[in-house]
C-alpha cells in the first residue's frame, strides 16, 4: 500500500513550508494556540522537497531532523504525519501537519481539557467522581470513563474549549464518538503547548492535573513517542489505537511532551493511519520518535526494544469503543 494514499477516516490537506509552521506555532492564537502548515506526503515532488524542519538558532539540528524524519517515514507503509516543537519554538518540524486523522484515544486529552475548562468557568474544583473518571480515561485509556465525561461536558463546552485553545482544525464527531474526533498534528502540538505554558485557557492547577495524569499512564501503554527518549526525561504521554471496521487497518497515534532533557523541553506528535495491524503502527511511530530524539539530542538512541517484544496481550481498541471507520 502506498504511503501517499489517503485512507478512510483521514482527510488530507497539504501546504508548505516549515517556516510557516514555525511562525504559526511561535505566534499562537489570541489565547493559547497555533495553527500550522507544512508540506504533505501527497504534495507535488517540488513542494515535498521544501524543508519540513526549520530553526534559526539550530539549523544543523533542523537539517538532521528533516533528513531523519523523511527517511523513517519513507521506510514505512501507511499514512504518517509528524510534528516537533523544541527550543522554545525556535525549532519546529511538520510533516503533513494539516492532514486530518481520526483522533482515537488522543481525543481523550481534548475531553480532559474541556472538563477542566468547564470547572474553571463554574468557579469550582473537580468533583471526586470527575477526578476518578479523568484518571481512568487518561492513565488506562478507559473508554467508558471517556464516554461518561464527554456526555457530562457536552458538545458545546468541548467546542468552546477547542475555540479558546485555537485548535481550529479539530472537529468533534457529530455522533459524539471521542475516537472519531478529527484532528491534526498542528492542533495536537498546540494542545501539548497549552498544557505546559501559562495561558488564559487553563490555569496552573488544571495544567498540573492534566500533566500528572499523562505522566502516570500505565506501563503497557507507554509505547510510542517515548521510544528513544533521554533516560532522565520527564514524559507526559497519550496514545491512541483504533481499527477500521471490517479491516486489518489501524489508526495508531502518540503525542508526548518531554521535560528536563539535555536540550530542554520539547513535544513530539506522530499520527498514523492505514497501518497493517496495530503493532505495525506502533513500530512506525517508535521508529520516527527515536529518530527525533536522536536528532535533537545528538545521541544514538535508535537501538530500542522492538514494540513486539515490549507489548504483551493486544490492547482494546483504546478509543471510545465505536470501532467505526
Which residues sit opposite 271 in a β-bridge? Answer: 81, 253
Q: Is 228's pLDDT higher than 70?
A: yes
79 CB-near residues (< 8 Å, 6+ apart): 3, 5, 6, 7, 10, 12, 41, 96, 99, 101, 272, 273, 274
For the record, the C-alpha cell of 71 comes out as 527517511
- Averaged pLDDT for residues 302-307: 48
The answer to which of 156-165, 217-226, 316-325 has the lowest mean pLDDT is 316-325
Contact 36, 83 (CB under 8 A): yes
Contact 172, 156 (CB under 8 A): no
The residue among 294 and 1 whose pLDDT is bigger is: 294
Q: Is 209's pLDDT higher than 80?
A: yes
The residue among 308 and 39 whose pLDDT is bigger is: 308
The residue among 200 and 301 whose pLDDT is bigger is: 200
For the record, the C-alpha cell of 104 comes out as 482515537
Query: Each residue of 45-84: pLDDT tens digit?
Result: 444 579 999 999 999 999 999 999 999 999 999 999 999 9
Q: Which domains does the chain have, with CATH numbers?
A: 18-310 (3.40.710.10)
The answer to which of 187-191, 199-203, 307-311 has the lowest mean pLDDT is 307-311
Q: Could you tell me what percent of the chain has a pLDDT over 70?
A: 78
By DSSP bridging, strand 79-86 and strand 91-95 are antiparallel
Q: Is 8's pLDDT higher than 70?
A: no
The pLDDT, as a whole number, for residue 12 is 36
The pLDDT, as a whole number, for residue 299 is 86
Query: Each residue of 133-146: pLDDT tens digit?
Result: 999 999 999 999 99
One DSSP character per residue, 81-98 reads EEEEEEGGGTEEEEESTT
Contact 325, 173 (CB under 8 A): no
Q: Could you tell me what percent of the chain has a pLDDT over 90?
A: 76
The three-point CA angle 289-294-297 to 5° equals: 120
One DSSP character per residue, 167-224 reads -TT-B--TT--GGG-EE-HHHHHHHHHHHHS--SSS-HHHHHHHHHHHHT--GGG--S
C-alpha dihedral over 169, 174, 177, 178, to 10 degrees? Answer: 20
Q: Is 175's pLDDT higher than 70?
A: yes
Q: Is 3's pLDDT higher than 80?
A: no
- Averaged pLDDT for residues 111-131: 99
Contact 256, 238 (CB under 8 A): yes
- Averaged pLDDT for residues 213-221: 98
Q: Where are the alpha helices (DSSP H) in the chain?
A: 18-27, 45-48, 59-75, 107-121, 128-139, 143-153, 155-165, 185-196, 204-215, 278-297, 307-310
The pLDDT, as a whole number, for residue 325 is 36
Contact 69, 41 (CB under 8 A): no
d(CA 202, CA 192): 12
The pLDDT, as a whole number, for residue 310 is 56
The pLDDT, as a whole number, for residue 16 is 38
Q: Phi/psi at 223 (nearest 5 deg)?
A: -90, 180
Contact 27, 177 (CB under 8 A): no
d(CA 174, CA 265): 36
Query: Each residue of 271-301: pLDDT tens digit?
Result: 999 999 999 999 999 999 999 999 999 987 6
- Averaged pLDDT for residues 233-258: 98
The pLDDT, as a whole number, for residue 59 is 98
Q: Is 307's pLDDT higher than 90?
A: no
The pLDDT, as a whole number, for residue 49 is 74
Amino acid at each position: 500500500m502506498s504511503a501517499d494514499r489517503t485512507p478512510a477516516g483521514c482527510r488530507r490537506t497539504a501546504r508548505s513550508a516549515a517556516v510557516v509552521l514555525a511562525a504559526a506555532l511561535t505566534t499562537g492564537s489570541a489565547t493559547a494556540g497555533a495553527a500550522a502548515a507544512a508540506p504533505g506526503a501527497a504534495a507535488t515532488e517540488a513542494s515535498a522537497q521544501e524543508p519540513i524542519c526549520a530553526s534559526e538558532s539550530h539549523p544543523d539540528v533542523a537539517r538532521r531532523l528533516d533528513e531523519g524524519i523523511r527517511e523513517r517515514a519513507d521506510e514505512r507503509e501507511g499514512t504518517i504525519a509528524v510534528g516537533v516543537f523544541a527550543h522554545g519554538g525556535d525549532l519546529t518540524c511538520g510533516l503533513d501537519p494539516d492532514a486530518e486523522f481520526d483522533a482515537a484515544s488522543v481525543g481523550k486529552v481534548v475531553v480532559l481539557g474541556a472538563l477542566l475548562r468547564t470547572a474553571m468557568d463554574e468557579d469550582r474544583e473537580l468533583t471526586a467522581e470527575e477526578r476518578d473518571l479523568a484518571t481512568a480515561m487518561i492513565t488506562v485509556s478507559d473508554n467508558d470513563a471517556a464516554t461518561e465525561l464527554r456526555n457530562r461536558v457536552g458538545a458545546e463546552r468541548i467546542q468552546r474549549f477547542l475555540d479558546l485553545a485555537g485548535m481550529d482544525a479539530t472537529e468533534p464527531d457529530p455522533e459524539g464518538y471521542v475516537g472519531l474526533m478529527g484532528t491534526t498534528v498542528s492542533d495536537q502540538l498546540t494542545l501539548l503547548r497549552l498544557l505546559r505554558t501559562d495561558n488564559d485557557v487553563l490555569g496552573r492547577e488544571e495544567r498540573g492535573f492534566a500533566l500528572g495524569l499523562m505522566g502516570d499512564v500505565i506501563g503497557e501503554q507507554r509505547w510510542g513517542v517515548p521510544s528513544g527518549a533521554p533516560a532522565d526525561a520527564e514524559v507526559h504521554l497519550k496514545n491512541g489505537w483504533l481499527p477500521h471496521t471490517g479491516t486489518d487497518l489501524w489508526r495508531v497515534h502518540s503525542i508526548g511532551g518531554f521535560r528536563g532533557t539535555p536540550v530542554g523541553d520539547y513535544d513530539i506528535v506522530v499520527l498514523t493511519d492505514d497501518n497493517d495491524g496495530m503493532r505495525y503502527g506502533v513500530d512506525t511511530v517508535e521508529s520516527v520518535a527515536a529518530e527525533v530524539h536522536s536528532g535533537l539530542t545528538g545521541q544514538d538512541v535508535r537501538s530500542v526494544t522492538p514494540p513486539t517484544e515490549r507489548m504483551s496481550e493486544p490492547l482494546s481498541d483504546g478509543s471510545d469503543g465505536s470501532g467505526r471507520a
